[in-house]
Every structure is written in structure tokens, then in C-alpha cells.
Amino acid sequence: MSFEIRVAKRLGETDIAIDLNAGAGATVLFGPSGVGKTSVLNMVAGLLRPDAGRIVVGGRMLFGDGVNVPVERRRAGYVFQDARLFPHKRVAANLTYGAAAGADVAAVTGFLGIGHLLDRWPRSLSGGEAQRVAIGRALLSNPRFLLLDEPLTSLDRARRAEVMQAIEHIRDVLMLPILMVTHDPEEAERIGTRIVRM
């Protein structure tokens, strides 16, 4: 199993509960805003602590039974809805922030089509460029799995196609397990190997 997630969390007035066993490929969490989809990603990444439950990814226990692996050791490639590029670092430095020495930057920038952006500052990028840099940065940190939080919402149609292709490449060629959140049915259909409604 790629993802075994059974967690419960109360955030304010909202009760978030999910019980999910997903195999390889891309698992899409689909549902309206406000049901706690992003909170599930945050719990898998370690940014939010579940009240109860367990999280196992690729056979490795990340949370539960007294285990709570710190964020920086979970090796989650997290692509946030707002790219969250570091504003004081150029694209190249953003990409290699989490990369080990000898990481193949050229291969990643190649398939994402961002090789020409390396000297730019994040504030000069378009939404689609920033999102692809964020995906590249996550991939170069050598993750064991990817968490994608509505990676396409802020983009226009042409940019969406570019980023969608990049995600399909990660799913089919790099074979990284993906957990993705979306509220767009078309996106869910196209990317999801399976769809989990929340």
C-alpha cells in the first residue's frame, strides 16, 4: 500500500476524519472546500498533528503507536496551493534548497520546462512558472511520495495543461505515489488513479 491513512482531527467546529488505503499511482481527495482536505495533507506531511489515528506511507510508519516522525524527516514532496517559493532566493537556489549534492537538476528542469528561469527571482514568475518551480523543488528534495494541494487552481487553461502533463509524468514515469487534493471533477478524473470523496 502506498498510503494507509486513518486519522481524526477536530479543528474548531470541523471534524476531520478519513480512512484510506491506497495503492500505487495518484490518489485524489475530492470534495468541496472546508471539509479538511488540505488538513489531511498537512497531517501526512507532519505539519498538523492528528488527534488520533495512524499514517503509514510506503510501509513506513509516520504517525501512530507513539511514533511521530518530524516534518523534516518524512521526505514528503509537498507542493502547496500557493507555490511558497522563498522570495529572497533565485529560482536555482529554490530548486536546490532540499536537494542532495549531485541531484540531477537538469533532468527535473528539463521535463518541467523551467530551465530558462534559473536566474529569475520568484516575484517575477507567472503563476504557472512558480507552480512548476515548486514541483521541481519538491521533486529535487528526493521525496518518497508527493503531496499536491490544488496545484492547478490558480492557473489559466494553457498553464493548467502544462502542469497537468508534469504531474502525469511524475505518476507514470517517476512512479512516485501521489496524494492530491482538488475540488475540480475534471482534474480528479484525469489525474486520479482512484478518487476518494470527502
Partner 1 sequence: MLSAEEWTVILLSLKVGGVAMAATLPIAFALAWLLARVRFPGRVLVDAIVHLPLVVPPVVTGWALLLAFGPAGPIGEPLQRWFGVSVLFRWSGAAIAAGVMALPLMVRAMRLSIEAVDRRLENAARTLGAGPWRVFWTLTLPLSVPGILAGAVLGFARSIGEFGATITFVSNVPGETRTLPLAIYSVLQQPDGDAMAMRLSAIAVALSLAALVASELLARRAGRGLHVL
- Secondary structure class of 21 (helix, strand, coil): strand
Nearer CB in complex with partner 1: 68/86: 86
Judge contact between 58 and 4, C-beta under 8 A: no
Nearer CB in complex with partner 1: 36/122: 122
Quick count: other Cβ atoms within 10 Å of Cβ 78?
Answer: 24
CB of 30 to partner 1, least distance (A): 23
**Separation of CA 111 from chain center:** 17
Nearer CB in complex with partner 1: 73/197: 73
Angle at 184 between CA 179 and CA 187, to 5 degrees: 60
CB of 186 to partner 1, least distance (A): 27
CB of 91 to partner 1, least distance (A): 15
CB of 50 to partner 1, least distance (A): 17
Nearer CB in complex with partner 1: 88/197: 88
45 φ/ψ sector (left φ>0, alpha ψ -120 to 50, else beta): alpha
CB of 157 to partner 1, least distance (A): 27
Nearer CB in complex with partner 1: 74/171: 74
Angle at 135 between CA 98 and CA 146, to 5 degrees: 80
Interacting residue ranges for partner 1, rule: CB under 8 A: 45-47, 70-78, 80, 82, 84, 86-88, 97-98, 137-138, 141
Distance CA 80, CA 170 (A): 16
